[in-house]
Homo-oligomer: A and B are copies of this chain.
Amino acid sequence: MIAIIITIMVLEMKVPHDPTFRGLAGLLPVFLSYVLSFIYVGIYWNNHHHMLHATSKVSGSVLWANLHLLFWLSLFPFVTGWMGENHFAPLPTAIYGIVLLAAAIAYWILQQRIIAAEGESSRLRRAIGRDWKGKASPLLYLVAIAITFVSAGLAQAIYVLVALVWLVPDRRIEARLEHEV
């Protein structure tokens, strides 16, 4: 389902009726917003995929935690379009951060539910280690949301920074590339 989210996101980039450089320039904010969201959802896609593969036992609460995460990810096409079309105005930038924050929390909840379902010998617990990225990201999103109305540009810089931190290859995902990629 994350593959579908990432793909339909492009539909929020509306085709301009103007075949000129001006038409193209007008698209720049929407395009940058798209690139940022592509990276975020792409990271979730990879990590979510590998987390589920490291998972051996699942309870009912894991299923709902998973659906909860997918809910927040499903809002990406919307907030991406809103932020881009309004040229990174403060409010859409803050809402974008709230979706980032909610998705990060939902991911953490899902991770905890899986570890709880697996019990003592959880493979996932060992795999994630200290998980400093997972812990620092929500804090950074919170900071970004808080300063949005002071400087939307600074908030966006934080979003980009966190995305870059996650882009750095992670030992955990050094695994066999799966079929559905």
Main secondary structure of the interface of A (DSSP, over half): helix
Taking a contact as CB atoms under 8 Å apart, the answer to whether A78 and B10 are in contact is yes
Whether the Cβ atoms of A58 and B175 lie closer than 8 Å is: yes
Name the B residues within 8 Å of A4 (CB-CB): 3-4, 7-8
Please judge, given known A-B contacts A11-B11, A52-B181, A75-B10, whether A58 and B91 are in contact too, CB under 8 Å.
Answer: no
In A59-86, the 8 Å CB interface with B consists of 59-64, 66-67, 70-71, 74-75, 77-78, 81-82, 85-86
Instruction: Kindly supply a per-residue 1/0 record for chain A positions 19-52, scoring 1 wherever the CB is within 8 Å of any chain B CB and 0 otherwise.
Output: 1110110000000000100100010011000001
Instruction: Compute how far the CA of A58 lies from the CA of B45 in the bound complex, rounded to whole angstroms.
Output: 16
A63 to chain B, nearest CB (A): 6
How many copies of the polypeptide does the oligomer hold? 4
Do the beta carbons of B64 and A167 come within 8 Å of each other? Answer: yes
Bound: A16/B91 CA distance, A? 12
- State the interface size on chain A (CB cutoff 8 A): 65
Q: Please, which residue of chain B has its CB at the minimum distance from the CB of A48? A: B181
Offer 21 A-B interface pairs, CB within 8 angstroms, sorted by A.
A3-B4, A4-B4, A4-B8, A6-B74, A7-B8, A8-B10, A12-B15, A15-B85, A17-B86, A19-B82, A19-B91, A45-B67, A52-B177, A52-B179, A57-B176, A59-B169, A60-B169, A60-B173, A60-B174, A62-B177, A179-B180
Residues of A within 8 A of B (CB): 1, 3-13, 15-21, 23-24, 35, 38, 42, 45-46, 52, 55, 57-64, 66-67, 70-71, 74-75, 77-78, 81-82, 85-86, 89-92, 95, 167, 169-171, 173-177, 179-181
